[in-house]
């Protein structure tokens, strides 16, 4: 009976160690550095994407202006050709009419020169936009590649941790089988309230749960109890398992 109870306490410590290991694995899984890096790269990708959109909108505006000018230039060209045809066809036109047509052609020629200059300026304005866009596209590609490999690393690390979790959880189920249900229930409720630790070792005079020293009289009292007696730390309330004489765990 005492042996069974002592074995139950050792099994309980085993359950506690496995629960701690499982909690650490969950923490490691949630705090993977690759996941943090991936989040940073994704944020940079979003920034680059926004800048690309802005620049593309600016570039589209310039390109639209350019297209407008091309259209106007074509219209002017057509108008000039029409006047020229009229001039050459209308031999009987008055000198005044001919002069007026000549003057309009001259003005249209000026207008074409002005617009061609302006169009050249627009083309010059496009150059740095295109250069910056090319740089952003390259950065976009580089970041996407990085995000892809980080996502792969996160998945691999998660898979590895999940395998460990499965093993530890299976061991935990086996160890819990050696603990009577009422003791296990008490442990679970303590663990829930006390930061994941419901069972602690008494190492020398110290409780491994709260790390405080117990009064010597209390330690003596615990060691005089029958092996397997369930004791709690008077300071933190955790189930306290003496180390000496139990074979240690
Ligand atoms: Zn304690």
CA of 9 to the centre of ligand 1 (A): 16
Helix axes 33-89, 95-176, angle to 10 degrees: 170
CA of 233 to the centre of ligand 1 (A): 5
How is domain 2-26+180-242 classified at the architecture level of CATH? Orthogonal Bundle (1.10)
pTM comes to: 0.71
CA of 191 to the centre of ligand 1 (A): 12
CA of 15 to the centre of ligand 1 (A): 18
Tell me the Cα Rg of the chain.
42
pLDDT digits (tens, 9 = 90+) for 98-139: 899 899 999 999 999 999 999 999 999 999 999 999 999 999
CA of 211 to the centre of ligand 1 (A): 6
Strand order in the sheet with 231-232: 206-207, 199-203, 239-242, 231-232
Q: Is 237 helix (H, G, I), strand (E, B) or coil?
A: coil
- Where along the chain do its domains lie? 2-26+180-242, 32-174
How is domain 32-174 classified at the architecture level of CATH? Orthogonal Bundle (1.10)
CA of 172 to the centre of ligand 1 (A): 23
pLDDT digits (tens, 9 = 90+) for 131-172: 999 999 999 999 999 999 999 999 999 999 999 999 999 999
CA of 110 to the centre of ligand 1 (A): 96
pLDDT digits (tens, 9 = 90+) for 200-231: 999 999 999 999 999 999 999 999 998 889 99
CA of 202 to the centre of ligand 1 (A): 8
pLDDT of residue 174: 97
Residue 83, Ramachandran bin (φ over 0: left; ψ between -120 and 50: alpha; else beta): alpha
């Amino acid at each position: 009976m005492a042996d069974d109870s002592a074995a139950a306490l050792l099994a309980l410590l085993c359950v506690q160690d496995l629960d701690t290991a499982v909690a650490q694995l969950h923490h490691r899984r949630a705090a993977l550095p690759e996941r943090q890096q991936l989040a940073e790269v994704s944020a940079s990708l979003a920034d680059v994407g926004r800048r690309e959109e802005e620049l593309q909108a600016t570039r589209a505006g310039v390109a639209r202006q350019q297209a407008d000018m091309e259209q106007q230039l074509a219209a002017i060209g057509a108008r000039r050709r029409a006047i020229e045809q009229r001039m050459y066809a209308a031999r009987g036109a008055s000198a005044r009419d001919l002069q007026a047509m000549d003057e309009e052609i001259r003005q249209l020629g000026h207008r074409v020169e002005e617009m061609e200059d302006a169009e050249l300026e627009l083309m010059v304005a496009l150059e740095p936009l295109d250069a910056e866009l090319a740089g952003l596209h390259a950065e976009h590609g580089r970041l996407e590649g990085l995000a892809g490999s980080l996502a792969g690393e996160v998945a691999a690390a998660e898979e590895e941790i999940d395998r460990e979790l499965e093993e530890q959880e299976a061991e935990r189920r086996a160890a819990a089988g050696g603990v009577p249900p009422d003791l296990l229930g008490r442990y679970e409720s303590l663990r829930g309230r006390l930061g994941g630790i419901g069972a602690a070792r008494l190492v020398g005079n110290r409780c491994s749960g709260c790390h405080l020293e117990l009064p010597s009289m209390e330690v003596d009292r615990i060691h005089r109890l029958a092996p397997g007696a369930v004791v709690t730390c008077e300071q933190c309330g955790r189930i306290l398992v003496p180390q000496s004489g139990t074979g240690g765990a």
